[in-house]
Amino acid sequence: MTSGSRKSEVGDILRSLPLIDGHNHVGGPDLIDHKAQSAAEIVRGLDVAGVNKAVIFPFNNPDPTEGFKSANNYIAEAVADFPSRLIGFGRVDPTDPAGAVREVERIGADLNLAGLKLHPRAQKFMPDHPGLPAVLKKVSELDLIVVFDSGSAYAPWPEMSELANKFPDIPMIMAHMRQGDYISAAKSAPNIYLGTAKVPPELILKAVKEIGALRIISGSDSPYVSIETEVIKIRSLNGLYGSDKSNILGLNMARILRDRNSAQTRVS
């Protein structure tokens, strides 16, 4: 075999591993910082970075009730425009439990999205908020995944792990494993996954060492950080096996999605 053909064989293997960015915002503008990102812009970002797919969810919205509904519709339209590139998650406000349960039903059953982004700091609720169990019960019924904003006083890790243990069948991704001992949370709740968005390399390496690479999910938080920057960060982690990086960069998310029922989440 020539070195040229060996090289292209390695290239084929690498291309067959799905790269999925697990944390992106589409729609907007955001309530606070007025950022926005269209479906076409994120697909361009994926192409630049050589990434196959992105998990997308809404920005923060001035009106969490009606505003999230139209933002969730926008996510569904984006997925319909780019079905092989975008994986849609919706957003709700659990401080209005009845409205949130109805919207979760719509997100899973009507819009056929794959999961939910919950933001304790933005919507001002704690993990023990009395509205959350009803919302998560509906999430569980519909077989959805949850991404929780973490790294704020609204998401203390012991309470997050307690909540995860109450709903062991829901994969819960802590979006930012920084500013809180989310590694300990993951150790005490096997359905907790740790996101790498805005997380420094040293902390990602510590997490891999303590809980293994299979529960770490790469995510850029685009448009705040580019998809390309996130891929370079994970690929540059010193001392990790290539297989660990492949798991973090997409295979872990692909496995979680494969285990869900929603047809649009199937990873080809």
Distance CA 220, CA 234 (A): 10
Residue closest to Zn ion when measured from CB atoms: 221
| Residue placing its CB nearer to Zn ion in the complex, 21 or 221 | 221
* Binder of Zn ion out of 93, 221, 228, 244 (CB under 5 A): 221
**Part of the chain binding Zn ion (CB under 5 A), chosen from 44-52, 133-141, 216-224, 235-243:** 216-224
| Residue placing its CB nearer to Zn ion in the complex, 173 or 240 | 173
Residue 232 CB neighbours (<10 A): 11
- Closest approach of Zn ion to the CB of residue 151, in Å: 11
Return the sign of the alpha-carbon dihedral for residues 43, 47, 53, 59.
negative
| Residue placing its CB nearer to Zn ion in the complex, 101 or 178 | 178
Under the criterion CB under 5 A, does residue 21 sit at the interface with Zn ion? no
Instruction: For helices 97-105 and 66-81, give the axis angle rounded to 10 degrees.
Output: 20
- Closest approach of Zn ion to the CB of residue 194, in Å: 15
- Closest approach of Zn ion to the CB of residue 1, in Å: 45
| Residue placing its CB nearer to Zn ion in the complex, 23 or 260 | 23
Residue 6 has φ and ψ, to the nearest 5°, of -65, -40
- Closest approach of Zn ion to the CB of residue 209, in Å: 26
**Part of the chain binding Zn ion (CB under 5 A), chosen from 129-137, 150-158, 162-170, 217-225:** 217-225
- Which residue, among 17, 16, 11, has the nearest Cα to 253 in the 3D structure? 17
Size of the site for Zn ion (CB under 5 A): 1
The CA-atom distances, in angstroms, between 128 and each of 28, 133, 161, 179, 226 are: 29, 9, 11, 19, 33
User: Going along the chain, which residue ranges are E strands?
Assistant: 20-25, 53-57, 86-91, 115-118, 145-148, 172-174, 192-195, 216-217
Query: Which residues contact Zn ion (rule: CB under 5 A)?
Result: 221
